[in-house]
Chains A and B, each alone.
Chain A
Amino acid sequence: MLRFFALRLGRALLTIALVVTFAFIVLRLSGDPALMIMSPDAPPEALAAFRQAWGLDEPIWLQYLKYFTAILQGELGQSMRDGRPAIQLVLERIPATLMLTLPALALKVGLGIPAGIYAALHRNSLTDRVVMTFAVAGFTVPSFVLGLILVLIFAVQLGWLPSGGQESWRSAILPVISMGLGGAGILARFTRSAMLEVLGQPYIRTASAKGVPWHAVIRKHALPNAAIPTVTVVGFMVGSLMAGAVVVESVFSWPGVGRLMVVAVSNRDLAVVQCILLLVSATMVTSNLIVDLLYGVLDPRLRGHAAPGSGH
């Protein structure tokens, strides 16, 4: 188990390093930060001074090396735009983002999983078809389109809810719904197919054949098995808690990490972008790690402490 954990951890760290490297390469290739921040009309001396101040005049490999060692030391650099530590800028925005993504996650799980289970248990019924139609609509309509529709109906037409900003909890309702519904649809479909797969397994028939009442067959025999594939999807959703709101935050002008990201990218504010990417990949990787560990808990076949056929 220890070996397993160490292996996973090593892979996780490698993933983060790759993401960070990738971000560095893409951002440096796509334009000169000095021109973006100072504007192209700035006098050459000013540009040179800016480049020197931020180390942009050094060879690219040296920049990368410095950047990487700084990250290892926990030094994430300063925003080129306003000179404050990048980490501070990002941390300030996290609560606002979580205010959207956490309720959205709750909506996905709380709506998607029960709907999927219900649809599977009433396969081909009218309810099943209605649920699945909504599910397909939920994940084929992009969240920003849904967001705009919701704004049109509830903010513009009915005037019940604000269309943007972060004045009160009421401002969060529309963005949360526009993010949560799609995920709920994905999760409902996934849960439904996992359940159907499990319900077709011989051990479900065995449970019925030994006199387990149907509701207990579902609860004790089907759900623990159907949970195994479903955990993967939920894990992915947990992993996108930080990054999942980029588009929706822009639609609803919500001052979260996502909007900071959009602004920082368009400004070539390298330190901030890198800091966000680090945060996002760390969340992603951590949730993957948790999913892997959960697999071990949920599925004894993956614990691997004994080989099959180890009969006497």
Chain B
Amino acid sequence: MTIAPLVSIRDLRVAFHGLPALRGIDLDVMPGEAVGLVGESGCGKSVTWLAALGLLPATAVVTGSVKLDGTELLGAAPAVLDRVRGGRVAMIFQDPASALNPVKRVGGQVAEALALHRGMTGAAANAEVLRLFDQVGIPDARRRVHIYPHEMSGGQNQRVMIAMALAGQPELLVADEPTTALDATIQAQILDLLRRLQQETGMALVLISHDLGVVAEMCRRVCVMYAGRIVEQAPSDTLFADPRHPYTRGLLAALPDMVGPRRRLEAIPGGVPEPWNMPPGCAFAPRCGHATAECDAAIPGFSSVGPDHEAACIHLESAMAPA
């Protein structure tokens, strides 16, 4: 028996002013699963989900297909998208302080989502806001629903964002760098909360992060992105124990360790290619120690390298040997 994916993305492409930002993404999210999207800035990990939910500015050209339970979202009517956004798929963002409306009380911002997706108003909505505040661990909720974002800390604001996301009882929560703007001990609190809520509600979680550690801790499956494409995907244990794509291997080698003897970091030479200067074939080839002329011939497709483990590289065998 196969379970149908909750969200199914096929050949998703995004261009801004003619320059490619996303160059063909295929990704399925199963109900209840936690998937990590990891990569450096500009790799398209956020754009993927902003595009999927129709949240990009009108200047973005989006093609491909994004299906939620079989319903196409790309080009869907605004009314359809408004039902999906915050209802079936909720999203939280990086900087909670600026992601909340500064002139509105935090309780009211959560209540707005309740009114939109669950038709709740008045006393019922107020009670539900309090319950949500409790659920996300905001102490003294009765007083705090009445205050403004600037009167709360970053961690508390992110909890409000999460309460707002939960208000629509979503089947999928997309968390876009949810802890990047927060201090380490607060990050631990928020990640704990997200993990607990995912278990409690059974919703799926897409975690977008530049931090390999965060993704490793939170997700069962990880997709590594580079220059607008997924280059490797695998269960997270496998990915971190046995990375196969040269870029994934490079990223892990560039990361300082927290344990064991210190070693010189293996930096990846060069930088990410500019959108107007994309290599013809594999986008990583100019920085790759294993690159040959063949790498420039065509964009490499996925090869299976193990159970549920795929990498987009034509030199997977030689890449395993020391460079």
Asked if A and B form a direct contact in the complex, defined as CB atoms under 8 angstroms apart, the reply is: yes
Using a CB–CB cutoff of 8 Å, the interface residues on chain A facing chain B are 201-203, 205-214, 220-221, 224-225, 228, 298-301, 306, 308-312
Q: Name 17 interchain pairs, CB-CB below 8 A, sorted by A.
A: A203-B99, A206-B100, A206-B161, A208-B55, A209-B90, A211-B117, A212-B82, A214-B78, A224-B103, A301-B150, A306-B147, A308-B151, A308-B153, A311-B152, A311-B156, A312-B139, A312-B140
- Which residue on A lies nearest to B93, using beta carbons? A202
With contact pairs A208-B85, A211-B168, A309-B153 given, residues A203 and B90 touching in the complex (Cβ less than 8 Å): no
Q: Cβ of A211 and Cβ of B147 under 8 Å apart?
A: no
- Which residue on B lies nearest to A203, using beta carbons? B101
Most chain A Cβ neighbours within 10 Å, of B53, B112, B161: B112
Size of the chain B interface, CB-CB below 8 angstroms: 41
B64 within 8 Å of A (CB atoms): no
* Chain A to chain B: the 3 pairs with minimum beta-carbon distance, closest first: A210-B86, A211-B86, A211-B85
C-alpha spacing A53/B148, complex, angstroms: 63
- Which residue on B lies nearest to A310, using beta carbons? B151
Q: Cβ of A209 and Cβ of B82 under 8 Å apart?
A: no
With contact pairs A211-B83, A211-B86, A211-B113 given, residues A225 and B101 touching in the complex (Cβ less than 8 Å): yes
B51 within 8 Å of A (CB atoms): no
Q: Cβ of A210 and Cβ of B90 under 8 Å apart?
A: yes
C-alpha spacing A270/B146, complex, angstroms: 55
Q: Which residues of A contact B153 (CB under 8 A)?
A: 308-309, 311
A136 CB → nearest B CB, Å = 24
Q: For B82, give its contact among A203, A211, A224, A306 (CB under 8 Å).
A: A211
C-alpha spacing A312/B138, complex, angstroms: 10
C-alpha spacing A220/B109, complex, angstroms: 11
CB contacts under 8 Å to A, within B135-177, are 139-140, 147-148, 150-153, 155-156, 161, 164-165, 167-168
Q: Which residues of B contact A308 (CB under 8 A)?
A: 150-153
Q: Cβ of B95 and Cβ of A202 under 8 Å apart?
A: yes
A127 CB → nearest B CB, Å = 15
Q: Which residues of B contact A211 (CB under 8 A)?
A: 82-87, 113, 116-117, 168
C-alpha spacing A308/B103, complex, angstroms: 15
- Which residue on A lies nearest to B102, using beta carbons? A301
Across chains A and B, the number of contacting residue pairs, with CB separation under 8 Å, is 92
C-alpha spacing A203/B104, complex, angstroms: 11
B152 CB → nearest A CB, Å = 7
C-alpha spacing A140/B53, complex, angstroms: 43
A56 CB → nearest B CB, Å = 56
With contact pairs A201-B98, A203-B101, A224-B103 given, residues A210 and B164 touching in the complex (Cβ less than 8 Å): yes
Q: Cβ of B85 and Cβ of A205 under 8 Å apart?
A: no
A200 CB → nearest B CB, Å = 9
A197 CB → nearest B CB, Å = 13
C-alpha spacing A306/B50, complex, angstroms: 35
B144 CB → nearest A CB, Å = 10
- Which residue on A lies nearest to B165, using beta carbons? A210
Most chain A Cβ neighbours within 10 Å, of B79, B95, B150: B150
B38 within 8 Å of A (CB atoms): no
Most chain B Cβ neighbours within 10 Å, of A203, A212, A309: A203
Q: Cβ of B103 and Cβ of A300 under 8 Å apart?
A: yes
B167 CB → nearest A CB, Å = 8
B312 within 8 Å of A (CB atoms): no
B91 within 8 Å of A (CB atoms): yes
With contact pairs A210-B168, A312-B139 given, residues A300 and B82 touching in the complex (Cβ less than 8 Å): no
C-alpha spacing A284/B323, complex, angstroms: 75
C-alpha spacing A298/B102, complex, angstroms: 10
Q: Cβ of B90 and Cβ of A306 under 8 Å apart?
A: no
Q: For B116, give its contact among A212, A214, A225, A306 (CB under 8 Å).
A: A212
B31 CB → nearest A CB, Å = 20
Q: Which residues of A contact B84 (CB under 8 A)?
A: 211
Q: For A203, give its contact among B50, B79, B102, B148 (CB under 8 Å).
A: B102
CB contacts under 8 Å to A, within B164-200, are 164-165, 167-168
Q: Which residues of B contact A212 (CB under 8 A)?
A: 82, 86, 112, 116
Q: Cβ of A298 and Cβ of B113 under 8 Å apart?
A: no
Q: Which residues of B contact A224 (CB under 8 A)?
A: 101, 103-104
C-alpha spacing A206/B92, complex, angstroms: 8
C-alpha spacing A240/B278, complex, angstroms: 57
Most chain A Cβ neighbours within 10 Å, of B50, B78, B102: B102
Q: Cβ of A210 and Cβ of B113 under 8 Å apart?
A: yes
Q: Which residues of A contact B152 (CB under 8 A)?
A: 308, 311
